[in-house]
């Protein structure tokens, strides 16, 4: 499994540098958020349904590539829409909460999904491994949902991004 980590790091470097560079070159941010979400969902489905190591590697590489490309563009978007630069730390804390909350609940939800239909010690892994599928419900969508919940509860209002 070390090969998955090594290839994942390589894919993440390529995704972050390539996504950030292309986003700056084209002047488009939302496009790369959508591409990142789509690639991540595709990688999660590949990884969740993988029954061989090469397929698992392909899914992991796709997910790492997409997440890194999204991360580079996401940071640029967040910095661009800050309503008050003097309170950047407060706003960035809200963003960090929004990014971490879904990752905390995903393993719990995955465990519940895996146990559906399991009886008398017989495992029911119909998707091979459900945690990557649950954990990767398009990451930007999970992040946006938590971001709205956390920011609203803290009284933080962000302007819309056009």
User: HEC string of 96-135?
Assistant: HHHHHHHHHHHHHHHHHHHHCCCECCECCCCCCCHHHHHH
The torsion of the CA quartet 35, 37, 42, 43, rounded to 10 degrees, works out to 100
Percent of the chain topping pLDDT 90 = 7
Cα 5 from Cα 18, distance rounded (Å): 19
- How would you class 48 by CB atoms within 10 Å of its CB: exposed for 0-12, middle for 13-18, buried for 19 or more? buried
**Side-chain half-sphere of 50: how many Cα atoms within 13 Å?**
19
Q: What is the CA radius of gyration of the chain?
A: 18
What's the confidence (pLDDT) of residue 64? 92
Which residue in 98, 107, 58 sits closest to 78, CA to CA?
98
Query: Which pair of structure tokens corresponds to residue 133?
Result: 């599928």
Q: Using 50, 70 and 90 to split pLDDT, how confident is the model at 157?
A: low
Summarize pLDDT for 4-44 with one digit per residue, the tens. Answer: 888 889 998 988 888 888 888 888 888 888 888 899 999 98
What's the mean pLDDT in 136-162? 49
- 26: helix, strand or coil: helix
- 66: helix, strand or coil: helix
Query: 53-80 and 88-115 helices cross at what angle (nearest 10)?
Result: 150
């Amino acid at each position: 499994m070390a090969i998955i980590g090594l290839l994942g790091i390589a894919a993440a470097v390529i995704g972050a540098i390539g996504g950030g560079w292309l986003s700056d070159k084209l002047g488009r941010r939302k496009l790369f958020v959508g591409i990142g979400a789509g690639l991540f969902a595709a990688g999660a489905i590949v990884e969740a349904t993988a029954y061989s190591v090469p397929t698992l590697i392909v899914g992991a590489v796709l997910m790492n590539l997409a997440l890194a490309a999204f991360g580079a563009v996401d940071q640029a978007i967040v910095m661009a829409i800050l309503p008050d630069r003097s309170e950047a730390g407060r706003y960035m804390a809200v963003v960090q909460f929004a990014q971490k909350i879904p990752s905390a609940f995903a393993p719990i939800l995955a465990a519940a999904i895996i146990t559906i239909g399991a009886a008398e010690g017989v495992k029911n892994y119909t998707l091979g491994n459900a945690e990557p599928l649950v954990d990767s419900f398009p990451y930007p969508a999970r992040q946006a949902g938590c971001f709205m919940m956390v920011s609203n509860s803290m009284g933080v209002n962000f302007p819309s991004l056009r």
